[in-house]
Amino acid sequence: MESIARPLSPHLQVYRWQISSVLSILHRTSGAVLGMSTLLFAWWLIALASGPDAYATAHGFFSSLGGKILLFAVTWALFYHLCNGVRHLAWDAGFGFKLGTMVRTGWVVVVSSVVLTVISFLLAYA
Amino acid sequence: MALSKTEFRTPLARVSGLGSAKDGTNHWWQQRFTAVALVPLVLIFWIIALKLVGSSHAVAAAVLKKPMTAGIATLLIIIGLWHLKLGAQVIVEDYVHHDGLKFALIIAIAFACALIGLASLFAIAKLAFGV
């Protein structure tokens, strides 16, 4: 089929950054990060099932500085995707579409995801 | 819903074709259904995981062995990976416009999710039932 060069609607790069678009992009990005981190979770489970030696290798990685930084990023991605996912479910149910409400709930999601991530690390390591 | 003057097909006739993807709202609905289920599962497993940070092999294995923990982990893996399969498919459909590559990636995502899920479930089964 021959394609016709029709004018396209303006895409991402012509728009000013704003909380609605940034949080939407972050929702997809955090989802992709969580998708890849399922490999880490599977690795940990398989190592645990394989025995103390394999577990020690996985445990060594997750206890290292790089491993902790990775876990911190994944934990934030998890809580961001969780909180913003609940925001999405509220939209699906028909709530929270007013512009002011949308901005407010967006900031609630950002702040609560950071707080929950920090609390996780305090509970885990402090 | 009121019918437009130029539309002779009934609403039932229009929805019975299920749109261009031929599965209607099924994909969208499954994404929400799994999302709702994942909220409590993630929170419960978060509490379990917090207690496991820094624990020895014996302690971690003993926790994962418990029927409650193994059950929650099993649900989390199945529903989480199903949610991932649906979400990753949408990302590919949005950005990959070459048909062959698009279908190859969608199939690869489904296979990868199935593989990660089966490997994880096998590990849990081995821990729960012992060898």
Contacts of residue B11, Cβ cutoff 8 Å, sequence gap at least 6: B1, B3
Contacts of residue B92, Cβ cutoff 8 Å, sequence gap at least 6: B102, B105, B106, B109
Q: Please provide the average confidence, as pLDDT, over all residues in chain B.
A: 91
Pick from B43, B29, B97, B100: which is nearest to B72 by CA? B43
Contact A124 B53 (CB under 8 A): yes
Query: Per-residue pLDDT for B113 more than 80?
Result: yes
Do A117 and A75 meet the contact criterion of CB atoms below 8 Å apart? yes
For residue B21, the model assigns a pLDDT of: 65
Contact A45 B32 (CB under 8 A): no
Domain ranges of chain B: 27-129
CA pair distance B113, B32, nearest whole angstrom: 18
Note the pLDDT tens digit of each residue in A11-41: 777 888 899 999 999 999 999 999 999 999 9
CA pair distance A109, A101, nearest whole angstrom: 12
Contact A78 B42 (CB under 8 A): yes
Contact B61 A31 (CB under 8 A): no
Contact A89 B126 (CB under 8 A): no
Supply B82's token pair: 């199903």
Contact B39 A34 (CB under 8 A): no
The CATH number assigned to the domain with range A20-125 reads 1.20.1300.10
Q: Position B103: which residue type?
A: F
Can you give the pTM of this predicted structure?
0.88
Query: Per-residue pLDDT for B34 more than 70?
Result: yes
Number of CB pairs, chain A paired with chain B, less than 8 A apart: 74
- Give the CATH class of B27-129: mainly alpha
Chain A residues touching B64 at Cβ < 8 A = 45, 48
Q: What are the residues of chain B with a beta carbon less than 8 Å away from any beta carbon of chain A? A: 32, 35-36, 38-39, 42-43, 46, 50, 53-54, 57-58, 60-61, 64, 73, 80-81, 84, 87-88, 91, 113, 116, 119-120, 122-124, 126-127
Q: How far is CA A113 from CA A22, B11, B86, in A?
A: 15, 43, 23
For residue A89, the model assigns a pLDDT of: 97
Query: Per-residue pLDDT for B3 more than 60?
Result: no
CA pair distance B82, A2, nearest whole angstrom: 37
Give the number of C-alpha atoms closer than 13 A to the C-alpha of residue B26, restricted to the C-beta side.
9
For residue B131, the model assigns a pLDDT of: 58
Query: Residue B49's Cα: distance from chain center in Å?
Result: 20
Note the pLDDT tens digit of each residue in A56-90: 999 999 999 999 999 999 999 999 999 999 999 99
Domain ranges of chain A: 20-125
Q: What is the ipTM of this complex?
A: 0.90
Do B91 and A32 meet the contact criterion of CB atoms below 8 Å apart? yes
Mean pLDDT, to the nearest integer, of B104-122?
98
Supply A67's token pair: 């491993």
Contact B116 A51 (CB under 8 A): no
Pick from B79, B88, B47, B128: which is nearest to A45 by CA? B128
For A125, which residue in chain B has the nearest alpha carbon? Answer: B53
Supply B31's token pair: 């994404």
